[in-house]
Chains A and B, each alone.
Chain A
């Protein structure tokens, strides 16, 4: 199930609604959607941040093969930034010594099982998978 969203933070409510629509269509407990909201928000805002001046909508695609959810974000602007290569955030450091940024991708790494990035001439795609298991 795929939908395109304008590259603006104002798209976030529509993204959350899309995720809930997908969960309902696939009989997935809506209580598990919050984590997916967060993963989608962090990746979407990252795409906007590194997408330059492009106005091209970003496509969000969700697929479900129980118990694994796959989320793909396709950016026709194809930013060069590869989130899988972003430096790790050392969360054991005192707050004052932490470098700025990177926390969103850190959260995505913590909350997903796998993340991949492909850059092609006609755009880039970030794919993450997450097993929806355990207590809600």
Chain B
């Protein structure tokens, strides 16, 4: 089960599992994001390479437009996956 919930302008919450089955469902919402964005991952239980790929796409698109993508509230196990992928040095993670 995965949910993507806009909570305010430029602030979106991801919850549940962002896996290969759910990444496509999340894509339209993330593709529609503009400007600098904060993603609240405090309720994201799980992310795999499919989910990371979607966030990388979003990061590249926003970054190319001069905007930022900030990730906040990561659970340790989710943060570990970013670390294994070397993405903890690329994303702004707080």
A interface residue numbers (CB < 8 A to B): 9-10, 12-13, 16, 34-35, 37-38, 41-42, 45, 91-92, 95-96, 103-104, 106-107, 110-111
Partner-A contacts on B (CB < 8 A): 17, 19-21, 45-46, 48-50, 52-53, 56, 59-60, 77, 81, 84-87, 90
B60 near A107 with CB under 8 A, answer: no
Bound form: Cα–Cα A34–B17 in Å: 10
Q: Which of A13, A45, A92 is in CB contact (< 8 Å) with B50? A: A45
Q: Contact at B52–A41, with CB atoms within 8 Å?
A: no
- Tell me the complex Cα distance, A104–B47, Å: 11
- Complex contact B59–A95 (CB within 8 A): yes
B20 touches A9 (CB 8 A): yes
**Bound Cα distance A13, B56 (Å):** 24
- Complex CA gap A107/B45 in Å reads 17
Give the complex CA separation of A123 and B87 in angstroms.
35
Shortest CB-to-CB span from B49 to chain A, Å, is 4
Once A34-B77, A42-B48, A103-B53 are accepted as A-B contacts, the answer to whether A91 and B20 lie under 8 Å apart by CB is no
Whole-angstrom distance from the CB of A90 to the nearest CB of chain B?
A: 8
Q: Which of B17, B19, B60, B77 has the most CB of A within 10 A?
A: B19
In the bound complex, do residue B85 and residue A103 qualify as a contact, i.e. CB atoms below 8 Å apart?
yes
Residue of B nearest to A94 (CB): B90
Report chain B residues within 8 Å CB of A106. Answer: 49, 84-85
